[in-house]
Structures are given as C-alpha cells and as structure tokens.
C-alpha cells in the first residue's frame, strides 16, 4: 500500500470531518463566507479535526516505538499500563496541585507514565517466560492494579467525576483553546523520526546493539520519554484511546515489515486515518447524538486484537 494513497484518503476524511455534526455546515456556506458557518468551523470543527489527526499520528507512533523496543508485537501504551500510570499522575495533580496549569499536570502525568513504563521494562527483563502473549498480559495486570488504586483514591476524595473525563477518549468537547497542548507532540514526533534507525537497532536486543556501538540504555530511555510525554498529552487533552497504538503498528508491519524507519510514516498516517474513521462513525451511527471515539476504538480495536491472537495461534 503506497503512502500517497493513505495520505489522500486521510485528507479526504479530514475534510469530511469538518462537515459532520449536529450543526449543518455546507461547502456553499463557507464559499459564500457565511459568518455562522465559519465560526463553527474555526471554533469547533477545525480544532477537533486537527486534534484527531495529531492524536492518531502520536499514539500510532508511540505503539510502534514500544513494540520495537520490547521486541513484542502486543505491547503498546494500553497493554503496558502506560495510560493507567498517566491517569494516576493526573489524579495526583488534582489532589495536590489543584490550581496547577495544564503544562504542570502534563509533566506530573508524564513522570508517572515514564516511571510505570520503566517499571514494566524492568519486570520484562526479569521474566523467565518471554512468551509473546504473556508479556502484555503482565502489563495489563499491572495497569489494572494502578487503575484500581486511582479509582480508590478518586472515590475517597470525591474526584470520580473529574477522573471520569479521562476514562473515555472524547473529541466532542474539543474546541479552540482546549486542544493546543497536543502541539507539544510535534517536536517529539520529529525526535522519533530522527531516532528511528537507532530504535530499530535497539529492538534487536541489548547485546547486539552494544556490539554495534549503540548506547542502548540511552536510546531506550529516549524512546520511553517520548512515549510517556505524548501519552500524557493525549490523555490530558482528549482522554484514554485504547488499542490504537496496538493494532495500527501491527497492520503496517504486515505489509511494510519491522524496519521502523520504513514503517513510521505509514504508521502515523494510518493512525490518523483509523481515528478519523472511528470519530466520523461515532457521530453518524446515532445521529444527532454521538458515541465517544474511545468507545468506538475500543470496540473495533478489541475485534482486531482478537483476530490477531487467533491468527497467531493458527500460524504458530
């Protein structure tokens, strides 16, 4: 599949996203410079579309980096517990830094996400059982423990309602002034592109990478920092979007292989395309009401994840 075709389809869907919603916006209205139509697009529809694209690209590439570094196709920010740790960090910021700025909350969430990911990597190195399925199950169990702790303290301090806004990814509240934090992911994605070849070598194992003169731990830490910060930014802005970082890199690897430099562009574009499809479908299925994109991605992602598990068993 050529990258150009993916980009064209993604651009077309991004354009369609501007015209899907309860308020009727038409191309003729924009062409005739109707004030109401332009206000809806600039204040609501355009920020929503941009946030969907940036979140899709970011989470897809985060999943690709994690799968490369852990040498496991079933590891992602969802299955490694990274999102659960970031959510715990947000709870801590709500408890102890009530008047904190979004940047400070992001830093706290990123610190927790990085700690949790490093903990997962440490557990991974000590596991004798290196089965492909067993490793993400450990991450899911660790994430569930952290999520339970966060829920307990949220109940105790009456913050369940505040925490619930991060339980489901939702773009319906995205508008001008509420999505700009996602721009932080842009320089981090550029950094990921620059380190793409190093991530590929690091994914071959510590001994192999060290023999080639690669500073293995430094490269791994750079990758995990990128994943932690981007995951925190996405959760803080739009909420938890499950499975996207898991299934998109796997789909790309089926036709592009495992070389990160060759597949990173496809992964980013396909991540944006997949999230746009889920968001548009969520707005159409029960129109004029809306299904959250987190729910749509979760349902579709679960089906694809089960298919990958069955496919693996069939061809094991």
Structure tokens at 145: 């423990």
Domain count, the chain: 1
pLDDT at 163: 66
3-state secondary structure of 74: coil
More confident residue, 97 or 160: 97
Query: In this structure, what token pair is assigned to residue 241?
Result: 């979007």
Higher pLDDT, 4 or 205: 4
- Number of other CB atoms surrounding residue 19 within 10 Å: 15
Residue 312 has pLDDT above 70, yes or no: no
- CA distance linking residue 149 with residue 112, whole number of Å: 13
Tell me: the pLDDT tens digits for 147-167? Answer: 888 888 888 887 776 666 656
Share of residues in the chain with pLDDT > 70 (%)? 93
Mean pLDDT (whole number) for 113-136? 77
CA 107 to chain centre: 17
pLDDT of residue 313: 54
pLDDT of 315: 41
For residue 235, give the nearest of 271, 185, 296 by alpha carbon: 185
Q: Which of 192, 111, 167 is nearest to 292 (CA)?
A: 167
Torsion-angle region of 215 (φ positive above 0: left; ψ -120 to 50: alpha; else: beta): beta
In this structure, what token pair is assigned to residue 49? Answer: 């579309």
Structural domain containing residue 259: 3-314
Any idea what the CATH number is for the domain that residue 75 is in? 1.10.3470.10
CA distance 36 to 258: 48
Q: Between residues 4 and 314, which one has the greater pLDDT?
A: 4
Q: How many CA atoms lie within 13 A of 142 on its CB side?
A: 25
Predicted local confidence at residue 128, as pLDDT: 66
Cα separations in angstroms, 100 against 91, 96, 107: 12, 9, 11
Q: What is the mean pLDDT of the chain?
A: 82
Sorted by sequence, the CB contacts under 8 Å of residue 171 that are 6+ apart come out as 48, 51, 52, 238, 279, 293
With a cut of 80, say whether residue 26 has pLDDT above it: no
pLDDT digits (tens, 9 = 90+) for 171-190: 777 777 777 778 888 898 88
Please, are residues 59 and 241 in contact by the beta-carbon 8 Å criterion? yes
Burial class (CB in 10 A: 0-12, 13-18, 19+), 153: middle
The answer to whether residue 238 scores a pLDDT higher than 60 is yes
Residues in the chain: 316
């Amino acid at each position: 599949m050529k990258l150009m075709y993916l980009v064209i389809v993604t651009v077309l869907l991004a354009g369609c996203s501007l015209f899907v919603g309860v308020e009727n916006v038409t191309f003729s209205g924009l062409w005739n410079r109707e004030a109401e139509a332009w206000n809806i697009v600039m204040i609501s529809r355009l920020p929503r579309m941009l946030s969907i694209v940036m979140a899709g690209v970011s989470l897809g590439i985060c999943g690709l980096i994690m799968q490369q570094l852990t040498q496991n196709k079933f590891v992602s920010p969802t299955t490694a517990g990274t999102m659960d740790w970031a959510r715990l960090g947000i709870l801590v910021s709500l408890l102890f830094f009530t008047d904190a700025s979004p940047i400070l909350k992001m830093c706290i969430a990123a610190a927790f996400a990085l700690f949790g990911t490093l903990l997962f990597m440490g557990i991974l190195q000590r596991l004798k059982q290196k089965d492909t399925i067993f490793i993400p199950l450990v991450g899911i169990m660790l994430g569930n423990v952290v999520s339970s702790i966060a829920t307990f303290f949220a109940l105790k301090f009456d913050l369940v309602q505040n925490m619930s806004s991060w339980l489901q990814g939702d773009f319906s509240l995205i508008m001008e002034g509420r999505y700009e934090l996602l721009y932080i992911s842009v320089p981090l994605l550029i950094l990921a592109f620059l380190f793409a070849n190093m991530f590929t070598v690091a994914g071959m194992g510590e001994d192999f990478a060290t023999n080639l003169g690669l500073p293995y731990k430094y490269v791994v830490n750079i990758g995990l920092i990128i994943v932690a910060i981007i995951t925190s930014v996405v959760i803080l802005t739009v909420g938890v979007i499950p499975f996207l970082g898991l299934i998109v890199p796997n789909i790309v690897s089926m036709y592009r292989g495992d070389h990160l430099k060759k597949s990173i562009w496809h992964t980013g574009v396909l991540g944006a395309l997949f999230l746009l499809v889920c968001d548009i479908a969520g707005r159409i299925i029960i129109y004029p009401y809306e299904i959250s994109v987190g729910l749509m991605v979760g349902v579709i992602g679960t089906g694809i994840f089960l298919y990958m598990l069955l496919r693996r068993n069939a061809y094991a």
